[in-house]
Amino acid sequence: MKSALILIDVQKDFCPGGALPAPDGFTIVPVINQLMDQFKWVIATKDWHPKGSIHFDKWPIHCVQYTEGAEFPIELDFEKINEIFLKGTGNLDDGYSAFDATNISLEKWLKERQIDTLYFCGIATDYCVLESAKHALRLGFNTYIITDAIAAINVQPDDGKNALENLQAKGAHLISSKKVITNLGLNLING
């Protein structure tokens, strides 16, 4: 089993003060910083929309390409990221799933490295983490969700909770960062 940590959309616009914030957006950053040391492979997605995207019929304008809101928060140790996958890049493209990234094919990238197990963290539990992890399960990846390293937008108060129940029913494993770090650390480094 070869594993990767995948950071979904840890971007300023999804953190408090941003355009479409998850209330716990900053809280998860130190947890993610710790997790990154456990993995040989650390990858990240960025929501990366063109200004005129139809996506903004549904959402406040956020994560526009090359703007500050699309950047990683400065507290994130982003130099540890091996590859960045850009999604939602077309005018007609919501890009909720990491596997819809357009600059590099995520599935191909993982297969080339024989990575078959994904540990998800990031934002938002109820949208892009949910859709990316569902997509990973459909493609046959072993799928873990690190429950204290994700943050929900919670348009409805239970959206994050429901997303996790939905994922668990589909075969995803829920795990704490502590468990990843203490129990699995050494195996994962072998990536």
155 vs 186, beta carbon nearer ligand VGL: 155
Report the partner that residue 101 touches, choosing among ligand VGL, Zn ion, none (CB closer than 5 to 8 A by kind): none
Exactly one of 47, 100, 126, 131 binds Zn ion (CB under 5 A); which one? Answer: 47
Do 47 and 70 form a contact (C-beta atoms < 8 A)? yes
63 is catalytic: no
Exactly one of 5, 6, 7, 9 binds ligand VGL (CB under 6 A); which one? Answer: 9
Whether the CA torsion 56, 60, 61, 62 is positive or negative: it is negative
Do 162 and 125 form a contact (C-beta atoms < 8 A)? no
Report the partner that residue 149 touches, choosing among Zn ion, ligand VGL, none (CB closer than 5 to 8 A by kind): none
**DSSP three-state, residue 163:** helix
Do 150 and 129 form a contact (C-beta atoms < 8 A)? yes
Exactly one of 27, 37, 59, 102 binds ligand VGL (CB under 6 A); which one? Answer: 59
At residue 84, what are phi and psi to the nearest 5 degrees? -115, 130
87 is catalytic: yes
Q: Find the part of the chain contacting ligand VGL (CB under 6 A) among 24-32, 76-84, 121-129, 155-163.
A: 121-129
Do 69 and 62 form a contact (C-beta atoms < 8 A)? yes
Catalytic residue among 87, 100, 121, 126: 87
24 lines the binding site for Zn ion (CB under 5 A): no
> Which residue's structure tokens are 């909770």?
161
Catalytic residue among 15, 63, 121, 128: 128
31 vs 153, beta carbon nearer Zn ion: 153
128 is catalytic: yes
In angstroms, the CA 179 to CA 81 distance is 21
In angstroms, the CA 43 to CA 41 distance is 6
In angstroms, the CA 51 to CA 33 distance is 30
CB of 4 to ligand VGL, least distance (A): 19
The residues annotated as belonging to the active site are: 9, 87, 128
Residues that bind ligand VGL (CB under 6 A): 9, 14, 47, 59, 123-124, 127-128
Residues that bind Zn ion (CB under 5 A): 47
